[in-house]
Every structure is written in structure tokens, then in C-alpha cells.
Amino acid sequence: MGDALKRRKLAASLAALALGLTLAGCGNSNDPEPGDTATSTSADGGSSPTVSETGDGSSDSPSSSPDPSASGDWWPEQPETMATGQEFPDDFEPATLEHPARNVPKPVMPEEAKQETEAGAQAFLDYRTDAVWYAFQTGDTQLAREVTADGCENCMVQFNRIDTIYSDGGWIAGGYEGGSILEEGFIRGADGVYNIPVETKSSGVKVTDGDRLISQQHPFDTSEGFNVNLIFRDGKWVYITASPRNP
């Protein structure tokens, strides 16, 4: 009974997590104050891909514009390098159904990501991609939490779910999701917030409870993309929220 309850609890956590994998907006972050900061690819449930329970107890989260690999058997694609260009060590092993990722490199923020320029904002988004991916691979959400505003409640919920999955003996494969700033999209608002249009591509996600696949979200490449809100304050960028550009 104890194992069954634990599995049901974890399955619920994983299904909810699959609703929070994309760059869709947190929707509740009106306060640009960083406070204690955190980073996330976090989603509002209304705009994220849907999750459905399958017969084997796993949940499947398709995208409105899925990657061709979304059909049939697939596994999250491993990028050749991290988003910032940081190399993977030779002994790095991506997660499988048998084990979590091993020897995962810890992302390093490039100096350019500390500049209030378009290139700096892109470098920051690349680092954020790596920090969130690192959280998915290891269950360590600290780096992600350090670069996103507290006001993004859904971001915090997502990080807490990642913590729970790993503390309960599960792990996550994939979760690599990058965003590229669109041309002429780097504009600072009167309030100091940059509302930046980006295109987003995800490698997809698979989550296991340690025994079996529980949840997944297919790869996707958004054609419409998202608007990401960033603010540069005290010499650093902070991720505030994001929302679909064409909801």
C-alpha cells in the first residue's frame, strides 16, 4: 500500500510537471523585483501542451507543433554542446530508463551574459537553458532558482516538482529547451522590462519513477514562439516570466 500511494503521488507530480515544461507564461508575475531569484521554463496550464494518462499509467504530452520524432518510439535528443557552447565531458552519460544522467557538467555563466546588450540577453537565455536542463538532469534546481524572479510562482512550482521527483527516487531525461531572440526584438520598456520575442525548440522530456516511464512531453519547435520578460538590475539579468506570442 505504501509503494502504491507513493507511486500515485509521484505520478500526479509528474503529470503536473509535464504541464510546466515550456516557455509559456507564469501569468502571475507582475512584480519585476528579483528578490531571491530563480529560473525556469515554466508554463501556464492553459497554454502548455496537454497531458493525458495512458493505459500503462504514463502520461503523454503532445505539442500543437510537434517534432516529427514525436510519433512512435523516441527519446529526447542530446545536444552536441550546451546552449552557451560549454562542452560535455567525455564521461557524461545521458539519462536512460535504467539510470539518471551521470557526470552532468555544471553550467558556467559566460561574462557576456552579464551585459545589458542584445548579445548579453541571448547569452543569459542560453545560460538559463543550461541551468534548467541541469535541474532536469540532476534534481539540483539551485542554479535555475538563482536567475528567475520569485514572482514567477509557476516557475517555483516547477522547481519544487523537480525536487520532489528526485527525492522520491525518480529522474528525468531531456528537458533541453532553447530560445533564440528574434530580429529587432530587443526593446526596453519604460518600466525597464524587456519584452523579448523568442523562438523556442524543445528536445522533449521523459520522466520515470525509478521503475517505469510515468510521463513524457514530445519534442516541439514553436513557429509562433513566446515573449520573454527580462530585467537587468544590479549588474545582472533576471528572468521574470514568458507568455505565448500568439495565444
Of 41, 59, 61, give the one whose Cα is nearest residue 154: 41
Domain for residue 31, yes or no?
yes
pLDDT at 142: 97
Considering the entire predicted model, what is its pTM? 0.79
Q: Residues with Cβ < 8 Å from 55, sequence gap 6 or more?
A: none
How do residues 38-83 score in pLDDT, each as one tens digit? 333 333 322 333 333 333 444 444 333 444 444 457 899 988 999 9
Of 131, 233, 138, give the one whose Cα is nearest residue 188: 233
pLDDT band per the 50, 70, 90 thresholds, residue 120: very high
Highest mean pLDDT among 18-22, 30-34, 164-168, 198-202: 164-168
Domain for residue 18, yes or no?
yes
Domain for residue 15, yes or no?
yes
The grid coordinates of residue 71 equal 510519433
Domain for residue 96, yes or no?
no
Residue 229: domain span = 2-70+112-242
Domain for residue 169, yes or no?
yes
Q: Residues with Cβ < 8 Å from 64, sequence gap 6 or more?
A: 49, 220
Distance CA 20, CA 156 (A): 10
Which phi and psi (to 5°) does residue 214 adopt? -110, -40
Domain for residue 223, yes or no?
yes
Domain for residue 97, yes or no?
no
Position 149 pLDDT exceeds 70: yes
DSSP of 109-173:
--GGGGSSSHHHHHHHHHHHHHHHHHHHHHS--HHHHTTB-TT-HHHHHHHHHHHHHHHTT-EEE
The mean pLDDT value of the chain amounts to 78
Percentage with pLDDT > 90 across the chain: 48
Q: Residues with Cβ < 8 Å from 141, sequence gap 6 or more?
A: 38, 135, 159, 162, 163
Domain for residue 20, yes or no?
yes
Query: How many independent structural domains does the chain possess?
Result: 1
pLDDT at 201: 87
